[in-house]
Protein backbone atom coordinates (compact mmCIF):
# COMPACT_ATOMS: atom_id res chain seq x y z
CA UNK A 1 0.00 0.00 0.00
CA UNK A 2 1.52 3.32 -1.00
CA UNK A 3 0.21 6.42 0.72
CA UNK A 4 -1.65 9.18 -1.13
CA UNK A 5 -4.39 11.65 -0.32
CA UNK A 6 -6.46 11.21 -3.46
CA UNK A 7 -10.12 10.31 -2.92
CA UNK A 8 -10.66 6.58 -2.37
CA UNK A 9 -14.10 4.98 -2.41
CA UNK A 10 -14.47 2.05 -0.02
CA UNK A 11 -17.81 0.28 -0.46
CA UNK A 12 -19.06 -1.39 2.73
CA UNK A 13 -20.20 -4.94 2.02
CA UNK A 14 -22.70 -4.54 4.86
CA UNK A 15 -25.06 -3.44 2.06
CA UNK A 16 -24.16 -6.38 -0.26
CA UNK A 17 -26.10 -9.61 -0.83
CA UNK A 18 -25.10 -11.70 2.22
CA UNK A 19 -25.56 -14.93 0.24
CA UNK A 20 -23.08 -13.87 -2.45
CA UNK A 21 -20.08 -12.04 -0.96
CA UNK A 22 -17.43 -13.35 -3.36
CA UNK A 23 -19.27 -12.17 -6.46
CA UNK A 24 -20.27 -8.89 -4.79
CA UNK A 25 -16.64 -8.07 -3.91
CA UNK A 26 -15.51 -8.91 -7.44
CA UNK A 27 -18.30 -6.74 -8.87
CA UNK A 28 -17.51 -3.61 -6.84
CA UNK A 29 -13.79 -3.92 -7.58
CA UNK A 30 -14.44 -4.36 -11.30
CA UNK A 31 -16.64 -1.26 -11.08
CA UNK A 32 -13.97 1.00 -9.58
CA UNK A 33 -13.90 0.47 -5.80
CA UNK A 34 -10.49 1.48 -4.40
CA UNK A 35 -10.79 -0.43 -1.12
CA UNK A 36 -13.25 -2.99 0.29
CA UNK A 37 -14.65 -2.06 3.72
CA UNK A 38 -15.71 -4.89 6.04
CA UNK A 39 -17.83 -4.07 9.10
CA UNK A 40 -17.25 -6.46 11.98
CA UNK A 41 -19.93 -6.17 14.71
CA UNK A 42 -20.18 -8.15 17.93
CA UNK A 43 -23.68 -7.57 19.31
CA UNK A 44 -22.05 -6.01 22.40
CA UNK A 45 -20.07 -2.89 21.42
CA UNK A 46 -22.80 -2.27 18.83
CA UNK A 47 -26.31 -3.75 18.77
CA UNK A 48 -25.78 -5.84 15.62
CA UNK A 49 -23.80 -8.93 14.63
CA UNK A 50 -21.97 -9.54 11.37
CA UNK A 51 -18.76 -11.41 10.52
CA UNK A 52 -15.98 -13.09 12.47
CA UNK A 53 -12.44 -14.02 11.40
CA UNK A 54 -13.41 -17.14 9.36
CA UNK A 55 -15.81 -15.10 7.22
CA UNK A 56 -13.20 -12.36 6.71
CA UNK A 57 -10.66 -15.03 5.74
CA UNK A 58 -13.11 -16.37 3.16
CA UNK A 59 -13.47 -12.85 1.65
CA UNK A 60 -9.70 -12.43 1.31
CA UNK A 61 -9.07 -14.27 -1.99
CA UNK A 62 -11.74 -12.13 -3.65
CA UNK A 63 -10.21 -8.81 -2.54
CA UNK A 64 -7.54 -7.63 -4.98
CA UNK A 65 -7.40 -4.04 -3.70
CA UNK A 66 -7.21 -3.26 0.03
CA UNK A 67 -9.12 -5.17 2.70
CA UNK A 68 -10.15 -2.51 5.20
CA UNK A 69 -11.55 -4.18 8.34
CA UNK A 70 -13.54 -2.00 10.76
CA UNK A 71 -13.90 -3.66 14.15
CA UNK A 72 -16.97 -2.63 16.11
CA UNK A 73 -16.13 -5.05 18.89
CA UNK A 74 -15.05 -4.90 22.52
CA UNK A 75 -12.64 -6.16 23.70
CA UNK A 76 -10.32 -6.00 20.66
CA UNK A 77 -6.86 -7.26 21.61
CA UNK A 78 -7.68 -10.97 21.86
CA UNK A 79 -8.82 -10.98 18.22
CA UNK A 80 -6.02 -9.03 16.54
CA UNK A 81 -3.97 -12.07 15.52
CA UNK A 82 -7.05 -13.76 14.08
CA UNK A 83 -7.73 -10.80 11.77
CA UNK A 84 -4.06 -10.68 10.75
CA UNK A 85 -4.32 -14.37 9.93
CA UNK A 86 -7.54 -13.66 8.01
CA UNK A 87 -5.57 -11.27 5.80
CA UNK A 88 -6.70 -7.77 6.82
CA UNK A 89 -4.56 -5.01 5.30
CA UNK A 90 -5.93 -2.34 7.64
CA UNK A 91 -7.44 -3.14 11.04
CA UNK A 92 -9.39 -0.36 12.73
CA UNK A 93 -10.44 -0.43 16.37
CA UNK A 94 -12.72 2.04 18.15
CA UNK A 95 -11.14 4.29 20.73
CA UNK A 96 -14.28 3.74 22.83
CA UNK A 97 -13.77 -0.04 22.83
CA UNK A 98 -11.41 -0.06 25.80
CA UNK A 99 -8.99 1.92 27.95
CA UNK A 100 -5.78 0.90 26.15
CA UNK A 101 -6.04 2.02 22.52
CA UNK A 102 -2.31 2.82 22.45
CA UNK A 103 -1.50 -0.80 23.24
CA UNK A 104 -4.10 -2.01 20.72
CA UNK A 105 -2.55 0.05 17.91
CA UNK A 106 0.92 -1.24 18.80
CA UNK A 107 -0.40 -4.81 18.66
CA UNK A 108 -2.10 -4.25 15.28
CA UNK A 109 1.12 -2.88 13.80
CA UNK A 110 3.13 -5.61 15.50
CA UNK A 111 0.92 -8.16 13.72
CA UNK A 112 1.91 -6.62 10.38
CA UNK A 113 -1.23 -4.62 9.55
CA UNK A 114 -1.89 -0.91 9.10
CA UNK A 115 -3.54 0.43 12.26
CA UNK A 116 -6.74 2.46 12.28
CA UNK A 117 -8.58 4.17 15.11
CA UNK A 118 -12.30 5.00 14.85
CA UNK A 119 -14.13 7.79 16.65
CA UNK A 120 -17.83 7.72 17.45
CA UNK A 121 -19.74 10.96 16.77
CA UNK A 122 -19.57 11.96 20.46
CA UNK A 123 -15.79 11.51 20.75
CA UNK A 124 -13.63 14.61 20.20
CA UNK A 125 -10.73 14.82 17.74
CA UNK A 126 -8.33 15.48 20.64
CA UNK A 127 -8.81 11.89 21.86
CA UNK A 128 -6.33 10.69 19.18
CA UNK A 129 -3.76 13.47 19.58
CA UNK A 130 -1.25 11.26 21.40
CA UNK A 131 -1.87 8.25 19.16
CA UNK A 132 -1.02 9.85 15.81
CA UNK A 133 2.48 8.41 15.52
CA UNK A 134 1.02 4.89 15.84
CA UNK A 135 -1.91 5.48 13.50
CA UNK A 136 -2.26 4.92 9.75
CA UNK A 137 -5.95 5.83 9.52
CA UNK A 138 -8.50 7.76 11.55
CA UNK A 139 -12.08 6.69 10.89
CA UNK A 140 -14.53 9.49 11.67
CA UNK A 141 -17.97 7.99 12.22
CA UNK A 142 -20.72 10.14 10.75
CA UNK A 143 -23.41 7.84 12.14
CA UNK A 144 -23.61 5.94 15.41
CA UNK A 145 -22.09 2.59 14.43
CA UNK A 146 -24.15 -0.56 14.09
CA UNK A 147 -26.26 -0.23 10.98
CA UNK A 148 -26.07 0.80 7.36
CA UNK A 149 -28.47 3.29 5.81
CA UNK A 150 -28.52 5.85 8.64
CA UNK A 151 -28.67 9.62 8.29
CA UNK A 152 -25.34 11.49 8.03
CA UNK A 153 -24.27 13.44 11.14
CA UNK A 154 -22.18 16.49 10.24
CA UNK A 155 -18.66 16.08 11.64
CA UNK A 156 -16.89 18.52 9.31
CA UNK A 157 -15.44 20.56 12.21
CA UNK A 158 -13.90 17.41 13.67
CA UNK A 159 -12.49 16.41 10.27
CA UNK A 160 -10.86 19.85 9.85
CA UNK A 161 -9.35 19.66 13.34
CA UNK A 162 -7.94 16.20 12.61
CA UNK A 163 -6.58 17.26 9.24
CA UNK A 164 -4.66 20.12 10.90
CA UNK A 165 -3.48 17.85 13.73
CA UNK A 166 -2.14 15.26 11.26
CA UNK A 167 0.01 17.78 9.38
CA UNK A 168 2.29 15.95 6.98
CA UNK A 169 2.08 12.56 8.72
CA UNK A 170 0.92 9.75 6.43
CA UNK A 171 -2.45 9.25 8.12
CA UNK A 172 -5.65 8.70 6.15
CA UNK A 173 -8.92 10.30 7.24
CA UNK A 174 -11.78 7.93 6.53
CA UNK A 175 -15.45 8.85 6.78
CA UNK A 176 -17.99 6.18 7.61
CA UNK A 177 -21.77 6.54 7.60
CA UNK A 178 -24.29 8.27 5.41
CA UNK A 179 -21.80 9.12 2.66
CA UNK A 180 -23.54 9.87 -0.66
CA UNK A 181 -23.29 12.40 -3.46
CA UNK A 182 -24.68 15.14 -1.19
CA UNK A 183 -22.39 14.57 1.80
CA UNK A 184 -19.18 13.47 0.03
CA UNK A 185 -18.24 17.03 -1.05
CA UNK A 186 -18.54 18.32 2.54
CA UNK A 187 -16.23 15.70 4.04
CA UNK A 188 -13.73 15.82 1.17
CA UNK A 189 -13.47 19.61 1.44
CA UNK A 190 -12.84 19.24 5.18
CA UNK A 191 -9.87 16.93 4.54
CA UNK A 192 -11.12 13.33 4.23
CA UNK A 193 -9.57 11.03 1.64
CA UNK A 194 -11.28 7.64 2.20
CA UNK A 195 -15.05 7.56 1.80
CA UNK A 196 -16.88 4.47 3.01
CA UNK A 197 -20.29 4.03 1.40
CA UNK A 198 -22.67 1.12 1.82
CA UNK A 199 -26.18 1.95 0.72
CA UNK A 200 -25.09 4.68 -1.71
CA UNK A 201 -22.92 2.18 -3.65
CA UNK A 202 -25.13 -0.91 -3.61
CA UNK A 203 -28.47 0.90 -4.10
CA UNK A 204 -30.24 -0.16 -7.30
CA UNK A 205 -27.54 -2.62 -8.41
CA UNK A 206 -26.79 -6.34 -8.15
CA UNK A 207 -24.13 -8.77 -9.37
CA UNK A 208 -26.33 -9.15 -12.46
CA UNK A 209 -26.48 -5.36 -12.91
CA UNK A 210 -23.01 -4.32 -11.72
CA UNK A 211 -22.81 -1.20 -13.86
CA UNK A 212 -25.15 0.47 -11.35
CA UNK A 213 -22.41 0.00 -8.73
CA UNK A 214 -19.99 1.62 -11.16
CA UNK A 215 -22.31 4.57 -11.76
CA UNK A 216 -22.81 5.02 -8.01
CA UNK A 217 -19.06 4.89 -7.29
CA UNK A 218 -18.30 7.37 -10.09
CA UNK A 219 -20.99 9.75 -8.89
CA UNK A 220 -19.69 9.77 -5.29
CA UNK A 221 -16.09 10.22 -6.49
CA UNK A 222 -17.06 13.06 -8.83
CA UNK A 223 -19.04 14.79 -6.09
CA UNK A 224 -16.10 14.48 -3.67
CA UNK A 225 -13.62 15.81 -6.21
CA UNK A 226 -15.88 18.80 -6.86
C1 LIG B 1 -21.88 1.55 10.30
C2 LIG B 1 -20.81 0.95 9.43
C3 LIG B 1 -20.75 1.55 8.07
C4 LIG B 1 -21.98 1.38 7.25
C5 LIG B 1 -22.08 2.47 6.24
O6 LIG B 1 -21.80 1.02 11.55
O7 LIG B 1 -19.55 1.09 10.02
O8 LIG B 1 -19.59 1.10 7.35
O9 LIG B 1 -22.03 0.16 6.59
O10 LIG B 1 -23.29 2.33 5.60
P11 LIG B 1 -24.02 3.54 4.88
O12 LIG B 1 -23.09 4.03 3.82
O13 LIG B 1 -25.24 2.89 4.32
O14 LIG B 1 -24.31 4.57 5.92
ZN1 LIG C 1 -17.59 0.73 8.80
- The arithmetic mean of pLDDT across residues 47-76, rounded, is 98
pLDDT in tens, 67-112: 999 999 999 999 999 999 999 999 999 999 999 999 999 999 999 9
Mean per-residue pLDDT over the chain, rounded: 98
- The arithmetic mean of pLDDT across residues 149-172, rounded, is 98
- Residue among 89, 136, 176, 193 flagged as catalytic: 176
Which protein residues have their CB within 5 A of the ion that is ligand 2? Answer: 39, 70, 176
Quote the pLDDT of residue 106.
Answer: 98
pLDDT in tens, 105-151: 999 999 999 999 999 999 999 999 999 999 999 999 999 999 999 99
Beta strands in the chain (DSSP E): 8-11, 36-41, 67-72, 90-94, 114-119, 137-141, 172-176, 194-197
pLDDT in tens, 125-138: 999 999 999 999 99
Quote the pLDDT of residue 1.
Answer: 84
Asked if 17 is an active-site residue, the reply is no
| Ligand 1 atom showing the smallest separation from residue 46 Cα | 6
Does residue 164 contact residue 201 with C-beta atoms inside 8 Å?
Answer: no
Residues 165 and 147: their CA atoms lie apart, in Å, by: 29
The number of the ligand nearest the C-alpha atom of 179 reads: 1
Residue 100, CA distances (Å) to 11, 16, 51, 131, 209 in order:
29, 33, 24, 11, 45
Does residue 173 contact residue 159 with C-beta atoms inside 8 Å?
Answer: yes
- The arithmetic mean of pLDDT across residues 168-187, rounded, is 98
Residues 107 and 113: their CA atoms lie apart, in Å, by: 9
The number of the ligand nearest the C-alpha atom of 197 reads: 1
- Measured between its terminal Cα atoms, the distance across the chain in Å is 26
Asked if 39 is an active-site residue, the reply is yes
Judge residue 76's burial from the number of C-beta atoms within 10 Å of its C-beta, 0-12 exposed, 13-18 middle, 19 or more buried.
buried
Quote the pLDDT of residue 208.
Answer: 98
| Ligand 1 atom showing the smallest separation from residue 179 Cα | 12
Mutate to test the pocket of ligand 1, among 119, 177, 195 (most ligand atoms within 8 A of CB): 177
The number of the ligand nearest the C-alpha atom of 146 reads: 1
Q: What residues are in contact with ligand 1 under a 6 Å CB criterion?
A: 12, 14-15, 37, 39, 70, 143, 145-150, 176-179, 196-200
Q: For a pLDDT cut of 90, what percent of the chain falls above it? A: 99
Longest CA pairwise span in the chain (Å) = 47
pLDDT in tens, 1-44: 899 999 999 999 999 999 999 999 999 999 999 999 999 999 99
| Ligand 1 atom showing the smallest separation from residue 152 Cα | 14
Tell me, what DSSP letter sits at residue 212? H
Amino acid sequence: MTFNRSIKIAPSILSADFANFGAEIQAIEAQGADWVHIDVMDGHFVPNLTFGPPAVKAFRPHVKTVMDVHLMISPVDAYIDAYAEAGADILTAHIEAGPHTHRTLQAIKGAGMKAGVALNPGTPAQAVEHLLDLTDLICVMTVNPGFGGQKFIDMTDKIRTLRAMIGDREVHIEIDGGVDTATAPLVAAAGADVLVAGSAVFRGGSVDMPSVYGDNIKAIRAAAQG
